[in-house]
Structure 1
Protein backbone atom coordinates (compact mmCIF):
# COMPACT_ATOMS: atom_id res chain seq x y z
CA UNK A 1 0.00 0.00 0.00
CA UNK A 2 1.56 3.28 -1.09
CA UNK A 3 -0.85 5.62 0.70
CA UNK A 4 -4.40 5.46 2.07
CA UNK A 5 -5.61 6.68 -1.34
CA UNK A 6 -3.28 4.65 -3.58
CA UNK A 7 -2.83 0.88 -3.64
CA UNK A 8 0.19 -0.75 -5.25
CA UNK A 9 0.96 -4.34 -6.22
CA UNK A 10 3.88 -5.81 -8.18
CA UNK A 11 3.86 -8.97 -10.30
CA UNK A 12 5.81 -10.69 -13.04
CA UNK A 13 4.84 -9.54 -16.51
CA UNK A 14 4.81 -12.37 -19.06
CA UNK A 15 5.36 -10.42 -22.27
CA UNK A 16 6.06 -11.33 -25.89
CA UNK A 17 7.09 -8.78 -28.51
CA UNK A 18 6.17 -9.51 -32.13
CA UNK A 19 7.20 -7.35 -35.05
CA UNK A 20 6.56 -7.41 -38.79
CA UNK A 21 9.26 -6.67 -41.33
CA UNK A 22 8.89 -3.76 -43.75
CA UNK A 23 6.29 -4.50 -46.43
CA UNK A 24 4.87 -7.57 -44.60
CA UNK A 25 2.61 -5.97 -41.99
CA UNK A 26 -0.74 -6.92 -43.53
CA UNK A 27 0.21 -10.56 -44.13
CA UNK A 28 1.98 -10.81 -40.73
CA UNK A 29 -1.04 -9.48 -38.84
CA UNK A 30 -3.47 -11.67 -40.76
CA UNK A 31 -1.46 -14.80 -39.97
CA UNK A 32 -0.90 -13.95 -36.30
CA UNK A 33 -4.44 -12.73 -35.74
CA UNK A 34 -5.81 -16.03 -37.03
CA UNK A 35 -3.39 -18.00 -34.82
CA UNK A 36 -4.38 -16.06 -31.69
CA UNK A 37 -8.08 -15.83 -32.53
CA UNK A 38 -8.36 -12.08 -32.05
CA UNK A 39 -8.12 -8.83 -33.96
CA UNK A 40 -5.27 -6.43 -33.36
CA UNK A 41 -5.31 -2.78 -32.27
CA UNK A 42 -5.40 -0.45 -35.28
CA UNK A 43 -3.17 2.37 -34.03
CA UNK A 44 -0.26 2.93 -31.67
CA UNK A 45 -1.46 3.10 -28.07
CA UNK A 46 -4.59 1.02 -28.63
CA UNK A 47 -5.11 -2.25 -26.79
CA UNK A 48 -7.34 -5.28 -27.36
CA UNK A 49 -8.14 -7.81 -24.63
CA UNK A 50 -8.76 -11.43 -25.62
CA UNK A 51 -9.18 -14.00 -22.85
CA UNK A 52 -5.96 -13.80 -20.72
CA UNK A 53 -4.06 -11.82 -23.34
CA UNK A 54 -3.74 -8.07 -23.80
CA UNK A 55 -2.51 -7.04 -27.25
CA UNK A 56 -0.82 -3.62 -27.22
CA UNK A 57 0.27 -1.78 -30.37
CA UNK A 58 3.61 -0.27 -29.30
CA UNK A 59 4.69 0.94 -32.75
CA UNK A 60 3.25 0.71 -36.27
CA UNK A 61 4.78 -2.76 -36.85
CA UNK A 62 5.38 -3.84 -33.23
CA UNK A 63 2.93 -5.47 -30.82
CA UNK A 64 3.34 -6.58 -27.23
CA UNK A 65 1.35 -9.58 -26.08
CA UNK A 66 0.94 -9.18 -22.33
CA UNK A 67 -0.26 -12.30 -20.56
CA UNK A 68 -2.09 -12.31 -17.25
CA UNK A 69 0.23 -13.58 -14.51
CA UNK A 70 0.28 -17.37 -14.44
CA UNK A 71 -1.08 -17.69 -17.99
CA UNK A 72 0.68 -20.05 -20.38
CA UNK A 73 2.19 -18.24 -23.37
CA UNK A 74 0.45 -19.05 -26.66
CA UNK A 75 2.44 -21.07 -29.13
CA UNK A 76 3.43 -18.71 -31.91
CA UNK A 77 4.64 -20.01 -35.25
CA UNK A 78 5.95 -16.80 -36.79
CA UNK A 79 7.00 -17.06 -40.41
CA UNK A 80 10.56 -15.63 -40.41
CA UNK A 81 9.86 -14.09 -43.82
CA UNK A 82 7.09 -11.98 -42.25
CA UNK A 83 8.49 -10.98 -38.86
CA UNK A 84 9.87 -12.15 -35.55
CA UNK A 85 9.06 -12.59 -31.87
CA UNK A 86 11.05 -12.30 -28.66
CA UNK A 87 10.13 -12.97 -25.05
CA UNK A 88 10.52 -9.84 -22.89
CA UNK A 89 8.94 -11.18 -19.71
CA UNK A 90 12.17 -12.12 -17.95
CA UNK A 91 13.20 -8.47 -17.92
CA UNK A 92 9.88 -6.76 -17.01
CA UNK A 93 7.55 -6.38 -14.03
CA UNK A 94 4.03 -4.98 -13.86
CA UNK A 95 3.04 -2.48 -11.20
CA UNK A 96 -0.72 -2.18 -10.65
CA UNK A 97 -1.79 1.11 -9.11
CA UNK A 98 -5.26 2.23 -8.10
CA UNK A 99 -6.78 5.01 -6.06
CA UNK A 100 -8.08 8.53 -5.99
CA UNK A 101 -4.55 10.02 -5.78
CA UNK A 102 -3.18 8.23 -8.83
CA UNK A 103 -3.12 11.22 -11.19
CA UNK A 104 -1.35 13.49 -8.70
CA UNK A 105 1.20 10.82 -7.72
CA UNK A 106 2.02 9.95 -11.34
CA UNK A 107 2.28 13.60 -12.35
CA UNK A 108 5.29 13.96 -10.06
CA UNK A 109 7.29 11.27 -11.83
CA UNK A 110 6.13 10.74 -15.43
CA UNK A 111 5.18 13.02 -18.29
CA UNK A 112 1.62 11.86 -18.98
CA UNK A 113 -1.58 13.89 -19.01
CA UNK A 114 -4.00 11.62 -17.13
CA UNK A 115 -7.00 13.43 -18.65
CA UNK A 116 -5.94 13.39 -22.33
CA UNK A 117 -7.75 11.14 -24.85
CA UNK A 118 -4.46 9.35 -25.57
CA UNK A 119 -4.39 8.12 -21.96
CA UNK A 120 -8.05 7.15 -21.67
CA UNK A 121 -8.89 3.79 -20.06
CA UNK A 122 -7.84 0.98 -22.39
CA UNK A 123 -4.95 2.95 -23.91
CA UNK A 124 -1.19 2.51 -23.56
CA UNK A 125 1.49 5.20 -23.55
CA UNK A 126 5.25 4.83 -23.55
CA UNK A 127 6.98 7.31 -21.30
CA UNK A 128 9.88 7.44 -18.88
CA UNK A 129 10.12 7.35 -15.12
CA UNK A 130 13.29 9.17 -14.02
CA UNK A 131 14.90 8.48 -17.42
CA UNK A 132 13.90 4.78 -17.48
CA UNK A 133 11.41 3.66 -20.17
CA UNK A 134 8.04 2.44 -18.84
CA UNK A 135 4.73 1.60 -20.45
CA UNK A 136 1.63 3.03 -18.79
CA UNK A 137 -1.49 0.92 -19.38
CA UNK A 138 -4.58 2.84 -18.30
CA UNK A 139 -6.92 0.21 -16.83
CA UNK A 140 -9.69 2.40 -15.38
CA UNK A 141 -10.71 5.87 -14.25
CA UNK A 142 -8.45 5.68 -11.20
CA UNK A 143 -6.17 2.76 -12.05
CA UNK A 144 -3.26 1.82 -14.29
CA UNK A 145 -0.43 -0.63 -14.74
CA UNK A 146 3.18 0.36 -15.30
CA UNK A 147 5.39 -2.12 -17.15
CA UNK A 148 8.98 -1.42 -16.20
CA UNK A 149 12.40 -3.05 -16.49
CA UNK A 150 12.96 -5.60 -13.72
CA UNK A 151 16.35 -4.00 -12.92
CA UNK A 152 14.52 -0.78 -12.01
CA UNK A 153 11.63 -2.39 -10.12
CA UNK A 154 12.98 -1.94 -6.60
CA UNK A 155 13.67 1.77 -7.10
CA UNK A 156 10.29 2.33 -8.67
CA UNK A 157 8.50 0.39 -5.93
CA UNK A 158 10.30 2.34 -3.20
CA UNK A 159 9.54 5.65 -4.89
CA UNK A 160 5.84 4.83 -5.30
CA UNK A 161 5.59 3.57 -1.73
CA UNK A 162 7.13 6.81 -0.46
CA UNK A 163 4.62 8.86 -2.47
Structure 2
Protein backbone atom coordinates (compact mmCIF):
# COMPACT_ATOMS: atom_id res chain seq x y z
CA UNK A 1 0.00 0.00 0.00
CA UNK A 2 1.43 3.39 -0.95
CA UNK A 3 1.95 6.10 1.66
CA UNK A 4 -0.85 8.12 0.07
CA UNK A 5 -3.32 5.39 0.90
CA UNK A 6 -2.49 4.86 4.58
CA UNK A 7 -5.01 5.86 7.24
CA UNK A 8 -2.32 7.84 9.06
CA UNK A 9 -1.70 9.96 5.97
CA UNK A 10 -5.41 10.38 5.23
CA UNK A 11 -5.97 11.86 8.71
CA UNK A 12 -2.82 14.00 8.74
CA UNK A 13 -3.39 17.52 10.03
CA UNK A 14 -4.06 20.17 7.39
CA UNK A 15 -3.30 22.96 9.89
CA UNK A 16 -0.33 21.71 11.88
CA UNK A 17 2.06 24.27 10.41
CA UNK A 18 -0.51 27.05 10.75
CA UNK A 19 -0.80 26.50 14.49
CA UNK A 20 2.97 26.81 14.85
CA UNK A 21 2.74 30.48 13.89
CA UNK A 22 2.98 33.24 16.49
CA UNK A 23 0.03 34.26 18.64
CA UNK A 24 -0.97 37.92 18.50
CA UNK A 25 -2.29 39.20 21.82
CA UNK A 26 -3.60 42.76 22.11
CA UNK A 27 -2.18 44.84 24.94
CA UNK A 28 -0.76 41.62 26.35
CA UNK A 29 -4.16 39.90 26.43
CA UNK A 30 -6.04 37.48 24.18
CA UNK A 31 -9.82 37.56 23.92
CA UNK A 32 -9.79 34.54 21.60
CA UNK A 33 -8.03 31.17 21.78
CA UNK A 34 -7.85 29.10 18.60
CA UNK A 35 -6.94 25.41 18.63
CA UNK A 36 -7.06 22.71 16.00
CA UNK A 37 -9.58 19.86 16.11
CA UNK A 38 -8.54 16.56 14.56
CA UNK A 39 -11.45 14.13 14.36
CA UNK A 40 -11.10 10.38 14.60
CA UNK A 41 -14.60 9.96 13.16
CA UNK A 42 -17.17 12.09 11.38
CA UNK A 43 -19.88 9.68 10.30
CA UNK A 44 -22.90 10.76 8.28
CA UNK A 45 -26.04 8.63 8.59
CA UNK A 46 -28.87 9.25 6.14
CA UNK A 47 -32.14 7.41 6.58
CA UNK A 48 -34.83 6.78 3.99
CA UNK A 49 -38.31 8.21 4.68
CA UNK A 50 -39.78 4.81 5.54
CA UNK A 51 -36.84 3.78 7.75
CA UNK A 52 -36.33 6.92 9.84
CA UNK A 53 -37.89 5.59 13.04
CA UNK A 54 -35.86 2.37 12.82
CA UNK A 55 -32.65 4.33 12.19
CA UNK A 56 -33.31 6.62 15.17
CA UNK A 57 -33.92 3.64 17.44
CA UNK A 58 -30.74 1.85 16.39
CA UNK A 59 -28.66 5.01 16.42
CA UNK A 60 -29.81 5.92 19.93
CA UNK A 61 -28.64 2.51 21.18
CA UNK A 62 -25.25 2.93 19.49
CA UNK A 63 -24.86 6.48 20.75
CA UNK A 64 -26.03 5.42 24.22
CA UNK A 65 -27.87 8.72 24.67
CA UNK A 66 -30.88 10.64 23.43
CA UNK A 67 -30.69 11.90 19.85
CA UNK A 68 -31.38 15.52 18.91
CA UNK A 69 -35.09 16.08 18.36
CA UNK A 70 -34.95 18.64 15.54
CA UNK A 71 -32.68 20.07 12.87
CA UNK A 72 -30.10 22.41 14.39
CA UNK A 73 -29.88 20.59 17.73
CA UNK A 74 -27.06 18.36 18.95
CA UNK A 75 -26.55 16.08 21.93
CA UNK A 76 -23.44 14.80 23.72
CA UNK A 77 -22.94 11.09 24.40
CA UNK A 78 -21.39 9.53 27.52
CA UNK A 79 -17.95 9.29 25.85
CA UNK A 80 -17.98 12.91 24.70
CA UNK A 81 -19.07 12.14 21.13
CA UNK A 82 -21.52 14.51 19.42
CA UNK A 83 -24.68 13.71 17.45
CA UNK A 84 -26.05 16.44 15.19
CA UNK A 85 -29.33 16.49 13.28
CA UNK A 86 -28.31 18.36 10.12
CA UNK A 87 -31.48 17.84 8.07
CA UNK A 88 -34.64 15.72 8.32
CA UNK A 89 -33.52 12.10 8.62
CA UNK A 90 -29.79 12.93 8.42
CA UNK A 91 -27.34 12.83 11.33
CA UNK A 92 -23.65 13.40 11.95
CA UNK A 93 -21.64 11.61 14.64
CA UNK A 94 -18.38 13.34 15.59
CA UNK A 95 -15.62 11.96 17.81
CA UNK A 96 -12.11 13.13 18.60
CA UNK A 97 -11.23 9.85 20.37
CA UNK A 98 -13.36 6.98 19.07
CA UNK A 99 -13.45 5.24 15.70
CA UNK A 100 -17.21 5.00 15.14
CA UNK A 101 -17.55 4.04 11.49
CA UNK A 102 -17.29 0.24 11.72
CA UNK A 103 -19.89 -0.13 14.47
CA UNK A 104 -22.30 2.31 12.82
CA UNK A 105 -21.93 0.80 9.36
CA UNK A 106 -22.53 -2.74 10.60
CA UNK A 107 -25.68 -1.68 12.48
CA UNK A 108 -27.67 -0.72 9.37
CA UNK A 109 -28.86 -2.60 6.32
CA UNK A 110 -28.48 -0.87 2.96
CA UNK A 111 -32.24 -0.42 2.70
CA UNK A 112 -32.30 1.37 6.07
CA UNK A 113 -29.59 4.02 5.77
CA UNK A 114 -26.48 5.27 4.01
CA UNK A 115 -23.37 5.54 6.18
CA UNK A 116 -20.31 7.59 5.17
CA UNK A 117 -17.03 8.35 6.97
CA UNK A 118 -15.97 11.94 6.27
CA UNK A 119 -13.35 12.76 8.92
CA UNK A 120 -10.50 12.56 6.41
CA UNK A 121 -12.08 15.36 4.35
CA UNK A 122 -12.79 17.87 7.14
CA UNK A 123 -10.69 20.24 9.24
CA UNK A 124 -11.79 21.98 12.41
CA UNK A 125 -10.92 24.93 14.64
CA UNK A 126 -12.06 25.30 18.24
CA UNK A 127 -12.75 28.91 19.19
CA UNK A 128 -12.88 29.86 22.86
CA UNK A 129 -12.57 32.93 25.04
CA UNK A 130 -14.74 35.80 26.21
CA UNK A 131 -14.85 37.31 22.70
CA UNK A 132 -16.17 34.16 21.01
CA UNK A 133 -19.70 35.52 20.63
CA UNK A 134 -18.39 38.79 19.17
CA UNK A 135 -16.23 36.91 16.68
CA UNK A 136 -19.17 34.78 15.50
CA UNK A 137 -21.45 37.79 15.07
CA UNK A 138 -18.68 39.51 13.13
CA UNK A 139 -18.13 36.49 10.88
CA UNK A 140 -21.66 35.20 10.18
CA UNK A 141 -24.82 36.88 8.92
CA UNK A 142 -27.22 34.71 10.95
CA UNK A 143 -29.97 35.33 13.49
CA UNK A 144 -28.71 35.43 17.08
CA UNK A 145 -31.08 32.61 18.06
CA UNK A 146 -28.97 30.30 15.88
CA UNK A 147 -26.00 31.05 18.15
CA UNK A 148 -27.59 29.57 21.27
CA UNK A 149 -25.78 26.96 23.33
CA UNK A 150 -26.59 23.45 22.11
CA UNK A 151 -27.28 24.61 18.55
CA UNK A 152 -25.41 24.20 15.29
CA UNK A 153 -25.77 25.79 11.87
CA UNK A 154 -24.24 25.66 8.41
CA UNK A 155 -23.30 28.97 6.81
CA UNK A 156 -20.50 30.52 4.77
CA UNK A 157 -17.70 32.61 6.20
CA UNK A 158 -16.09 34.55 3.36
CA UNK A 159 -16.16 32.04 0.46
CA UNK A 160 -15.98 28.97 2.73
CA UNK A 161 -18.90 26.70 3.64
CA UNK A 162 -18.69 25.89 7.34
CA UNK A 163 -20.43 23.92 10.08
CA UNK A 164 -20.56 25.74 13.43
CA UNK A 165 -21.30 23.91 16.70
CA UNK A 166 -22.04 26.20 19.65
CA UNK A 167 -21.06 24.64 22.98
CA UNK A 168 -21.43 27.73 25.16
CA UNK A 169 -21.16 31.52 25.02
CA UNK A 170 -17.39 31.18 25.11
CA UNK A 171 -16.76 28.04 23.04
CA UNK A 172 -17.65 26.71 19.59
CA UNK A 173 -16.24 24.39 16.92
CA UNK A 174 -16.05 25.33 13.24
CA UNK A 175 -15.49 22.78 10.46
CA UNK A 176 -14.87 23.11 6.73
CA UNK A 177 -13.66 20.90 3.92
CA UNK A 178 -9.98 20.12 4.22
CA UNK A 179 -9.02 22.01 1.05
CA UNK A 180 -10.26 25.28 2.60
CA UNK A 181 -8.66 24.75 6.03
CA UNK A 182 -5.88 27.32 5.55
CA UNK A 183 -8.36 29.90 4.23
CA UNK A 184 -10.59 29.36 7.27
CA UNK A 185 -7.60 29.70 9.60
CA UNK A 186 -6.58 32.98 7.95
CA UNK A 187 -10.12 34.33 8.16
CA UNK A 188 -10.47 33.71 11.90
CA UNK A 189 -6.96 34.87 12.83
CA UNK A 190 -7.47 38.08 10.87
CA UNK A 191 -10.94 38.62 12.35
CA UNK A 192 -9.51 38.03 15.86
CA UNK A 193 -6.79 40.67 15.62
CA UNK A 194 -8.93 43.35 17.28
CA UNK A 195 -9.47 41.10 20.32
CA UNK A 196 -6.00 39.56 20.42
CA UNK A 197 -5.64 35.82 19.92
CA UNK A 198 -3.69 32.88 21.27
CA UNK A 199 -2.87 29.85 19.12
CA UNK A 200 -2.88 26.52 20.93
CA UNK A 201 -1.21 23.62 19.14
CA UNK A 202 -2.14 20.01 19.77
TM-score (norm 1): 0.89
User: Which residue does 1:151 correspond to in 2?
Assistant: 179
Aligned counterpart for 1:11 among listed residues 13, 33, 37: 37
Segments of structure 2 that go 5 or more residues without pairing to the other structure are 1-22, 192-202
Q: How do residues 47-62 of structure 1 correspond to structure 2 at under 5 angstroms?
A: 47-50=74-77, 51-62=79-90
Aligned counterpart for 2:156 among listed residues 128, 150, 158: 128
Q: Which has the larger radius of gyration?
A: 2
Distance in 2 between the 1:58 and 1:28 partners? Answer: 15
Residues 142 and 36 of structure 1, relative CA distance in 2, 3 Å threshold? closer
Q: Is the 8 A contact 2:74 2:85 kept in 1?
A: yes
Q: RMSD value over aligned CA atoms?
A: 1.7
Aligned counterpart for 2:126 among listed residues 58, 72, 96: 96
* Structure with the larger helix share: 2
Q: Is the 8 A contact 1:124 1:135 kept in 2?
A: yes
Aligned counterpart for 1:81 among listed residues 111, 122, 125: 111
Shift of 1:85: 0.5
Q: Which deviations, in whole Å up to 9, do the C-alpha atoms of 1:91-136 show, x marking residues without a partner?
A: 11121001222233223322234x42x3211111111112322111
Q: How do residues 8-47 of structure 1 correspond to structure 2 at under 5 angstroms?
A: 8-13=34-39, 14-47=41-74
Q: Is the 8 A contact 1:55 1:64 kept in 2?
A: yes
Segments of structure 1 that go 5 or more residues without pairing to the other structure are none
Structure 1 stretches of at least 4 aligned residues deviating more than 6 Å after TM superposition: none
Q: Which deviations, in whole Å up to 9, do the C-alpha atoms of 1:3-38 show, x marking residues without a partner?
A: 511110112233100010122111111122223322
